[in-house]
Amino acid sequence: MNLALDEAPSLDELRLDVWLWAARWYKTRALARQAIEASQVRVAGQSCKPARLLHVGDAVAITRGEECFQVEVLWLRAQRGPATIAQRLYRETPESMQAREQTAVWRRADRLAAPVPPARRPGKHDRHRIKAFKQGTGDAG
């Protein structure tokens, strides 16, 4: 039986690792705990412990890989439910969305500017041309 948010009992406070797991930021509570201990999750700009009590309205910063999310806690739920309900537990700030979009643009530009590796390793004739080019002789042809 899945309860909608409106039917679920309201909580005043909840452990941070439980909320991260219920909001589907991490697959297990153990992974959420590891992220918190690695300072990849901050509450109100401060690093904290997994047992920190979270309240509605708290600002949580979550770093996953190269992306950083700034979210506001809208609802506290101790049960992990479907993704549609989990997404209603928080709201990402507009500044966070803009910053993530900008970094995605920069990453795409970096990928386009990166040198393309050769399709294959140089063969005997290619190595001869490379050696001639490096020595400055004109017989690279």
Reduced 3-state DSSP string for 88-125: HHEEECHHHHHHHHHHHHHHHHHHHHCCCCCCCCCCHH
Q: What is the mean pLDDT of the chain?
A: 88
Structural domain contains residue 102: no
Q: What is the pLDDT of residue 113?
A: 82
pTM listed for this prediction: 0.72
Structural domain contains residue 115: no
* Confidence band of 11 (pLDDT split at 50, 70, 90): confident
Q: Say how many domains are in the chain.
A: 1
* Confidence band of 114 (pLDDT split at 50, 70, 90): confident
Structural domain contains residue 139: no
In Å, how far are 48, 63, 102, 123, 127 from 137, measured between CA atoms?
64, 53, 47, 19, 14
Q: Give ∠ CA 115-119-122 in degrees, rounded to 5.
A: 100
Q: What is the pLDDT of residue 1?
A: 45
Encoding tokens for residue 75? 């609802």
Phi and psi, residue 46, nearest 5°: -120, 140
Structural domain contains residue 27: yes
Distance CA 98, CA 89 (A): 21
Q: Report, as an integer, the average pLDDT of 13-22.
A: 94
Domain span including residue 9: 1-96
* Confidence band of 119 (pLDDT split at 50, 70, 90): confident
Structural domain contains residue 124: no
Structural domain contains residue 111: no
17 Cβ contact partners less than 8 Å away, ≥ 6 residues apart: 29, 32, 33, 36, 50, 51
Structural domain contains residue 40: yes
Structural domain contains residue 112: no
Encoding tokens for residue 11? 């909580």
- pLDDT tens, residue by residue, 65-88: 888 999 999 999 999 999 999 999
42 Cβ contact partners less than 8 Å away, ≥ 6 residues apart: 48, 60, 61
Q: Which helix (H) or strand (E) holds 33?
A: helix 29-37
Q: Which helix (H) or strand (E) holds 134?
A: helix 124-135
CATH label of the domain that carries residue 78:
3.10.290.10
